[in-house]
Structure 1
Amino acid sequence: MQTIETKYGEFIAQHTANELRRKEILPVVFHESGVIKSLPLESQQTVVTPAGEIPAELISFHANGCINRIFPLNGKLSGYWAQEDEANLARPVTLVTPSGTITTRIIGISFYENETLRSITLWPGETISISTPAGMLDTRIGVSFTPDGEVSSLEPAKPTPVKTAAGEITAYDPDAIGVNGDWNSLVFDKSGAVVRVTTTLTRVKAVHPNGTTTVFTPGTRESLCSESEEEVVPMVVEMDQSAIRVRTSADRPVATLPMDTHVFFSEPYLPQLANFMEMMRCSV
């Protein structure tokens, strides 16, 4: 048994393992400077942070000694211990965020080197309501913040119309993976404008002054349900002051459209309704 001293108090490093959740004794890792970097705990301990009191089984630290990430649970999934088993141990945590106080179950939480909140990663099935430049949005998977406390990105919990430089786009990524909440499909810049959005429910038209119109729609791929069926692939639209960039699927190049030579329009894209049985996702 080893007690580790940090600026947040003393913690007992993991020194035993069990047959189900924690099959291995994970090492304590240090930065080159000697400051602790990763600390697996023997049992869940409470960490007092600027965002509130958070239970932890694994803590990582920045090189300056401030907390980087906290994981309330750190079990190892296997054929004998499933995600559902781990989720049953998760308890709601109350967090003070730049968007207000929330109570939810989290996989992890991260902080910048100055201890301001960087991101929150939610357990699958959890949703929270976040105040954003686009209004209050129901959020799943995760949300991230800038060092100044502004919402940087989030994962919409349901199809959500947002205003962009390319018109109103319904934001939703059915393929979103909840690894962490640091980077999500709906992204805002410092001014609050949408600079990246993923959609399967909107198409974008770009009109050139010479009358040429280019239409961008989400692509399709072979469905996991059957080789004879297809499903819609999320389309990513990025924008800045000079151009709008569209990728209709992961295997296609990005189309770059200068803002000063195009006029943009958006409209609903609902192939699922026109060809419902063929376009339906297996998970729906």
Structure 2
Amino acid sequence: MTIYETLHGVTSYITDEDANVKSCLLCEVNILETAFGRLVPKWKEDIRKKGIPSLSFYPGGVLKSVALEEQTLVSTPLGKLPAEFLTFYPGGELRRIFPCNGKITAYWSEEEEAALCPTLSFALHCGAFRAKVTAIHFYPSGALRSMSLWPDETVVLRAFQGFMPTRIGFSLYEGGALESVEPPYPMSIDTPIGAISAFDPHALGVHGDSNSLAYNQDGSLRSITTADSKIEVITPDRQSIFFAPSKRQDSLLDDRTVVVPVRISFTSDSITFDNGVDIKTFSLIECCFRIFSADSLIAMGSGNTDCSDCSTCNRCG
């Protein structure tokens, strides 16, 4: 028994310490009447389907997730959308929707999965576009939280600094303001210390919840990841400290190296550098900064690195 229906054809199930059902697998047709429509949990075996529970529940019996037998149109805050897998908040609100949820293996390719993923149209405050998406994430209020794009998909969004091509995905604040995007190639972005090339060559294409270029709600830059820029920090006592992308041995190929980018975060009066080894914070007011090409180490706009030359310093804007 569940708060939705009596389930039939339960082949296995897991309970918690209070004997409440946490998840189960089904081998017969079951129909759940929900606020999002009639849902039929998966009950057939298929080489494409993931080995995940048909249903999972929160301790109070509220549905936590459902893997659907077939792609089904589901009512969402963005209208009716196709889904193969859904997750929910403890209050019953829709959390995530996955239009396709197949398992990529030697027997089922990414190309075959992509063929089943429909191209969807969206009209958002940050832009209108058509794209294949892997997942859509909502706040409990129903506002869009993030959208994850299918590999090789790129959309153009309205960012605070103009139109921004975006890969992998993007995230929004609950009020609709753009929170983060993932640039598809190195892009020059204005920052409090000057123009920095934004790009993360190793951004994980898993979801669009967090990305290498992030904004505060007022539109100011919160953080940027760069694989192409080297920054010199000149401290008040005239010491120079450099932060730049580095190279390390590829964990899979002995004869290959990969670039380790630098993540730079800003507050109203400070800047923080994270190179994957050390994290250091400096005052935006007390320090000077110069930006170079990470490859040529030539200063952008000037080859002079003499601290006495005010034209090469970004301290005064």
- Of 111, 135, 157, the match for 2:184: 157
Equivalence for 2:18: none
Report the alpha carbon displacement of residue 194 of structure 1 after superposing the two structures with TM.
Answer: 1.3
Matched, 1:192 2:219: yes
Report the alpha carbon displacement of residue 100 of structure 1 after superposing the two structures with TM.
Answer: 2.6
Deviations 1:11-51 (A, max 9, x none): 11111122x21264633111222221101111111123222
Matched, 1:264 2:289: yes
Deviations 1:64-88 (A, max 9, x none): 2221000011112222112222112
The amino acid across from 2:279 in the alignment is V
2:112 is paired with a residue whose SS is: helix
Equivalence for 1:254: 279
- Following the alignment from structure 2 to structure 1, what is the Cα–Cα distance between the partners of residues 122 and 79? 5
Match runs of 1:223-262 below 5 Å: 223=250, 227=254, 230-248=257-275, 250=276, 252-262=277-287
Equivalence for 1:15: 43
Deviations 1:230-251 (A, max 9, x none): 4432111111123211122x2x
- Following the alignment from structure 1 to structure 2, what is the Cα–Cα distance between the partners of residues 193 and 230? 34
- Following the alignment from structure 1 to structure 2, what is the Cα–Cα distance between the partners of residues 82 and 74? 13
Q: TM-score, normalised by structure 1?
A: 0.88
The amino acid across from 1:149 in the alignment is G
Report the alpha carbon displacement of residue 213 of structure 1 after superposing the two structures with TM.
Answer: 2.1
- Following the alignment from structure 1 to structure 2, what is the Cα–Cα distance between the partners of residues 62 and 25? 19
- Following the alignment from structure 1 to structure 2, what is the Cα–Cα distance between the partners of residues 23 and 269? 43
Q: TM-score, normalised by structure 2?
A: 0.80
Equivalence for 2:30: 2
Report the alpha carbon displacement of residue 182 of structure 1 after superposing the two structures with TM.
Answer: 0.5
1:87 is paired with a residue whose SS is: helix
Task: Return closer, same or farther for 1:207/1:94 CA change in 2, 3 Å cut-off.
Answer: same
The amino acid across from 2:200 in the alignment is D
Report the alpha carbon displacement of residue 229 of structure 1 after superposing the two structures with TM.
Answer: 5.7
- Following the alignment from structure 1 to structure 2, what is the Cα–Cα distance between the partners of residues 212 and 103? 50
Q: Retained in 2: the 8 A contact 1:247–1:254?
A: yes
Structure with more contact order per residue of length (Cα contacts < 8 Å, sep ≥ 6): 1
Report the alpha carbon displacement of residue 56 of structure 1 after superposing the two structures with TM.
Answer: 0.3
Task: Return closer, same or farther for 1:270/1:23 CA change in 2, 3 Å cut-off.
Answer: closer
- Following the alignment from structure 2 to structure 1, what is the Cα–Cα distance between the partners of residues 297 and 291? 18
Deviations 1:97-116 (A, max 9, x none): 22132210011111000000
Matched, 1:103 2:130: yes
The amino acid across from 2:82 in the alignment is P
- Following the alignment from structure 2 to structure 1, what is the Cα–Cα distance between the partners of residues 297 and 98? 39
1:156 is paired with a residue whose SS is: coil
Superposition RMSD in Å: 2.1
Task: Return closer, same or farther for 1:227/1:272 CA change in 2, 3 Å cut-off.
Answer: farther
Match runs of 1:58-73 below 5 Å: 58-73=85-100
Equivalence for 2:60: 33
Deviations 1:133-159 (A, max 9, x none): 121111000000000101111110111
The number of equivalent residue pairs is: 270
Equivalence for 1:169: 196
Task: Return closer, same or farther for 1:226/1:41 CA change in 2, 3 Å cut-off.
Answer: closer
Give percent identity, aligned residues only.
Answer: 32
The structure with more radius of gyration:
2
Report the alpha carbon displacement of residue 226 of structure 1 after superposing the two structures with TM.
Answer: 6.7
- Of 178, 188, 212, the match for 2:239: 212
Equivalence for 1:125: 152
| 182-191 or 263-272, which deviates more | 263-272
Unaligned runs of 5+ in 1: 274-284
Task: Return closer, same or farther for 1:91/1:228 CA change in 2, 3 Å cut-off.
Answer: closer
1:15 is paired with a residue whose SS is: coil
Task: Return closer, same or farther for 1:38/1:160 CA change in 2, 3 Å cut-off.
Answer: same
- Following the alignment from structure 2 to structure 1, what is the Cα–Cα distance between the partners of residues 254 and 31? 56
